[in-house]
Structure 1
Amino acid sequence: MNETAIEQLPPEVRPQTNATETVFALLFAISFSHLLNDTIQALLPAIYPVLKESYGLTFTQLGLITLTFQCTASLLQPLVGYITDKRAMPYSLPVGMAMTLVGLISLSQAHSFVTILISSGLVGAGSAVFHPEASRIAHMAAGRRRGLAQSLFQVGGNAGSSIGPLLAAWFIVPHGQGALSWFSVIAMLGVLVLFQVGQWQARNLHRIHKRHAPVAGAAREVNDGPATRRVVAAVAVLVVLIFSKYVYLASLTSYYTFYLMDRFQVSVQQSQYYLFMFLFAVAAGTIIGGPVGDCIGRKRVIWVSILGVAPFSLWLPHAGLVTTALLSVIIGLILASAFSAILVYAQELMPGKVGMIAGLFFGLAFGIAGIGSAVLGAVADARGINFVFAACAFLPLLGLLTVFLPDVETAGEK
């Protein structure tokens, strides 16, 4: 139903909100749900030192745990996004959070490497349902402020990712793996909030904009060969940028604690605090990219957020403890804005495919991080954790490929 038809309806049966208005209440609700979801997910890598000590796991096995979680999420997310683009499923979000709840409880009781893998896969499946559909809600509630909406959505997730290690340091490290079950309360709260979000979505499906041709500056007709190739080339560049960002992030989120313990002999609990500092910086920096992208363009934000990290990432392997902590904060602040800018850029490049694009890029992010974590774990076993950080320092230089992205501007923006 278009907006003209909506205006002709009697007031008592009109949808609750105008499609051009930004619904901040929903954006905050979905951001809060993202915080809850990613807090739970962040508990998994945060308890790696506990699992490593309890079960004598190698870095390779820890990488396989991350691979299982990330690949379960990445393989399912594009499929979920594609299906929900075709048919709206407003109540899929609480179902996804319920899957995460089951995985969390299972992980708290897991007593072998195989059961840990299965539990991680369940948490990943819940994430696969959550992210593309929650991103669609952010898009629906955005009105004309899509960059801001995605940043608000992302900052919730990044805040949750930063809180996870802190909670692990306070509760799981002192009390052991079984303390994971305490966090089932967070998942149950998420189910309740997302049920309310689903009700809003069911009443406001008119806010999903369907356009069938890519935006000006990228491609004008779907059947235009050169234009289509241009879109494909742009997506390929975005995939490489996602690779550089998330493999580098995987080195920090999965192995930063081990790097600090090996290089500076800090304790497990102290390493969790340093990890929290980095992840909190990521959360704080996320909010910048979206609204800045609304003002100056996504491409400029992508330039700065990927390539701008390089000087600091190259310095980090050679710094002392205090400088390392400071550099990790700077890296987190700069790198954080990349994903929101890339996601909105891709949605503007291929409009009308909001769920599929969200699922594809969230899936890529999870899958690349999972594969990267597994490979880096094997490299750490073979060459040492310090070698991993020295090698990964060069990944942000791939941001130079941003020069090949076309300029994309959605009508009505800027």
Structure 2
Amino acid sequence: MAATRPATGSAEPMNGIVFGVIVAISFCHLLNDMMQSLLPAIYPALKSDLHLSFGQIGLVTLAYQITASILQPLVGLYADKRPTPLALPGGTLFSLAGLTVLSAAHVYWLVLVGASLLGMGSSVFHPESSRVARMAAGQRHGLAQSLFQVGGNAGQALGPLAAALVVVRWGQSSLAFFALLALLSGAVLWNVAAWYRNHGLGRLAASRKIAEGVSLPQGQAARGIAILLALIFSKYVYLASLTSYYTFYLIQRFGLSVQNVQFHLFAFLAAVAAGTILGGPLGDRFGRKYVIWFSILGALPFTLLLPHASLFWTGPITVAIGLILASAFPAIVVFAQELVPGKVGMISGLFFGFSFGMGGIGAAALGWLADRTDIDTVYQVCAFLPAIGLLTALLPDPGKAGRPA
């Protein structure tokens, strides 16, 4: 009988978190973001080999992130109306193609093509896998979102480490080896897609029925979404300054080697992964608004100190920035999903896409600034971005926006 099925079945759609599914998509998130983080990790080599300016480096990031930014909300909106479980394994083919092109790209336009293909892979993976995380969450939405996102953060941290140990040693062509990881991800996601089709859709339908009675007035929800997007802007433009230009900053200011700076970048991205683990569960326990307050404004003292720090303190300060800033995103995404219930795919795509887009625009703008001034100026300007966190005071009451959706 259907009533005897375990909590993963569609007959008990809201009971219990399905850790097996969340671990699977978190692992695929690790593979996906590790493959994609190889792009900024090889920027120093691309700049040297292809004689690129900082502005051109920024445009590569822009090509990658704008592709993902534009497509992600559209993918999410389509999936809200017509769920497509097989989109998850199918999307990995774009990442495979992107790294294959980058491994053989010896002209600038091919680098842009490869970066765009990587962005298309993200545009499919992120909104659909975030939807699966919510399906499998039960009542622990923050925890599920954190576990899902920490896989991506771990992958972003492993990308520079893989670049330091493999790509720096064997060259750009070694990216083709990492492209094979897309096949592994596709195999895992094929099984996730089967759970999505057989059990996840039933859970999602039940959550939509509950959501009908708890939504906020449209004006309050729209105001909350606008504020959350402003917070995403401050967070991801600042993070773009570190993911795209931190290596150049360390080389220029402290004279470190290319291989050495990859380990510093790994430490920063590992701190981002650790912060992501904390943000969701703390939001479940204490309220998402309070986590957002701490995460954005709490980074401000450290961002103000960074441009004036010695090499000894630069590492710990950037680790603190990564740890604090990263705790916001799981709380922001779940908060937004609860502001607009029943639109999980669209909201997930909007926020993942907007974060990618702001990172891309920020990277291009900061590259332009670095070309006309210097890298130090970039961090002096960006130091004030976390002050935008003061807008958190205008978010709707967490007791209203924090109810299950």
1:411 Cα deviation from its structure 2 partner: 7.6
| Aligned counterpart, 2:48 | 53
How high is the sequence identity, in percent, across the aligned residues?
55
Letter aligned with residue 342 of structure 1: I
Is 1:88 matched up with 2:83? yes
| Aligned counterpart, 2:263 | 273
1:319 to 297, 309, 330: 309
| Distance (Å, rounded) in 1 between the aligned partners of 2:284 and 2:71 | 30
Structure 2 counterpart SS, 1:123: helix
Maintained 8 Å contact 2:335/2:402: no
2:28 to 21, 29, 33: 33
Maintained 8 Å contact 1:100/1:122: yes
| Distance (Å, rounded) in 1 between the aligned partners of 2:276 and 2:403 | 24
Structure 2: runs of 5 or more not aligned: none
Letter aligned with residue 265 of structure 1: G
Structure 1: runs of 5 or more not aligned: 220-226
| Aligned counterpart, 2:203 | 207
Is 1:127 matched up with 2:122? yes
| Aligned counterpart, 1:238 | 228
**Shift in CA distance, 405/15, structure 1 to aligned 2, threshold 3 Å:** closer
**Shift in CA distance, 51/88, structure 1 to aligned 2, threshold 3 Å:** same
| Distance (Å, rounded) in 1 between the aligned partners of 2:364 and 2:388 | 21
Is 1:382 matched up with 2:372? yes
**Shift in CA distance, 234/48, structure 1 to aligned 2, threshold 3 Å:** same
Is 1:258 matched up with 2:248? yes
Is 1:333 matched up with 2:328? no
2:387 to 370, 373, 397: 397
Taking only aligned residues, the RMSD between alpha carbons, in angstroms, comes to 1.8
**Shift in CA distance, 170/16, structure 1 to aligned 2, threshold 3 Å:** farther
1:163 Cα deviation from its structure 2 partner: 0.4
Runs of 4+ in 1 over 4 A off after TM superposition: 211-216, 410-413
Maintained 8 Å contact 1:214/1:349: no
**Shift in CA distance, 253/10, structure 1 to aligned 2, threshold 3 Å:** closer
Is 1:160 matched up with 2:155? yes
| Aligned counterpart, 1:74 | 69
Maintained 8 Å contact 2:11/2:202: no
Output the TM-score relative to the length of structure 1. Answer: 0.93
| Distance (Å, rounded) in 2 between the aligned partners of 1:108 and 1:411 | 45
| Distance (Å, rounded) in 2 between the aligned partners of 1:215 and 1:403 | 26
Is 1:344 matched up with 2:334? yes
**Shift in CA distance, 45/412, structure 1 to aligned 2, threshold 3 Å:** closer
| Distance (Å, rounded) in 2 between the aligned partners of 1:58 and 1:262 | 15
2:173 to 178, 188, 198: 178
| Distance (Å, rounded) in 2 between the aligned partners of 1:6 and 1:388 | 59
Structure 2 counterpart SS, 1:142: coil
Maintained 8 Å contact 1:215/1:348: no
**Shift in CA distance, 201/10, structure 1 to aligned 2, threshold 3 Å:** closer
Number of aligned pairs?
398
